[in-house]
């Protein structure tokens, strides 16, 4: 390899470049690009579940994340951002079975924009969404909060841990009035 020559290789499923620094005799690894999204939020409405003509299960739903910001007069205001999420195959099945409006989720994925031509107007439409790779259910089964289950999609093998992350707690039932959106 010559000085400053960049070679590409796959490192931890990310494309990276390596260059050799002649001054220090070492290799420097630089990421060429990263498309990773991490979200922690609440599901806005019950997920929509469908199957493609080929039989692949698909789950679509929205997730709300909230930032707390201080205004000029010193008052705290919540600013909610809505994210469109999509999951496929086993992850969609987990969402179908365990996720509902108000569920708290931790999600890792990638951002993707799809486009299509509207059949009625003929204009081009766009939708930006998060494609889920990893999912942790932070709400208990049938609850709005608590619990702790996780599902990770990696390659062709998948696992779903349904064990609670801690001891069961006696808590009052959560209603729609308790959910901030």
pLDDT computed for residue 86 by the predictor? 97
- Listing DSSP states for the chain in one string gives --TT--EEEEETTEEEEEEEETTTTEEEEEES----EEEEEEE-SPPEEEE-TTS-EEEEEEEEEEEEEE-TTS-EEEEEEEEEEEEEHHHHHHHHHH--TT-EEEEEEEEEEEEEE-TTT--EEEEEEEEEEEEEE-SPTTSSS---EEEEEETTEEEEE-S-SS-----PPP-GGGS--
pLDDT in tens, 21-55: 565 566 666 768 999 999 999 999 999 999 999 99
Q: What value, to the nearest 5°, has the Cα angle with vertex 38 and ends 34 and 40?
A: 170
pTM: 0.62
76-88/124-137 β-pairing: parallel
pLDDT in tens, 44-90: 999 999 999 999 999 999 999 999 988 999 999 999 999 999 999 99
């Amino acid at each position: 390899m010559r000085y400053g020559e960049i070679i590409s290789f796959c490192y931890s499923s990310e494309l990276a470049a390596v260059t050799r620094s002649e001054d220090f005799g070492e290799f420097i690894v630089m990421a060429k690009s990263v498309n990773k999204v991490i979200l922690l939020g609440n599901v806005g409405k019950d997920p929509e579940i469908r199957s493609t003509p080929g039989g692949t299960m698909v789950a679509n739903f929205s997730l709300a994340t909230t930032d707390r910001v201080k205004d000029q007069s010193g008052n705290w205001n919540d600013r909610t951002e809505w994210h469109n999420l999509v999951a496929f195959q086993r992850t969609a099945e987990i969402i179908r079975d365990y996720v509902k409006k108000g569920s708290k989720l931790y999600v890792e994925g990638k951002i993707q924009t799809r486009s299509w031509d509207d059949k009625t107007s003929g204009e081009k439409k766009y939708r930006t969404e998060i494609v889920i790779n990893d999912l942790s259910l932070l709400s208990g089964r049938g609850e709005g909060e608590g619990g702790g289950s996780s599902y990770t999609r990696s390659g062709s093998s998948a696992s779903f841990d349904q064990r609670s992350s801690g001891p069961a707690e006696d808590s009052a039932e959560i209603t729609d009035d308790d959910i901030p959106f």
